Amino acid sequence: MFSWFKSNPSKKLERQHAQKLEQAMHAQRNGNIRGYSQLTYEADEIYKKIKELETAQNT
């Protein structure tokens, strides 16, 4: 009945993923390749969590 009050955890992760990618883009533009690599790796880990949640919800 009150399912529309529940937060969607994948939405939060999607926002974090977008923020990490944006930070990575700025790091790359500033010439910080190591920072870019680290932020891209973190964004990839968040993306994997999103996919795990989606597959868990679909089954």
**Model confidence pLDDT, tens digit, residues 14-47:** 999 999 999 999 999 999 999 999 999 999 999 9
- What distance in Å separates the CA atoms of residue 19 and residue 36, rounded to the nearest whole number? 13
pTM: 0.83
pLDDT at 19: 98
pLDDT at 3: 63
- What distance in Å separates the CA atoms of residue 52 and residue 46, rounded to the nearest whole number? 10
Domain boundaries, the chain: 9-58
Give the residue among 44, 59, 54 at the shortest CA–CA distance from 9.
54
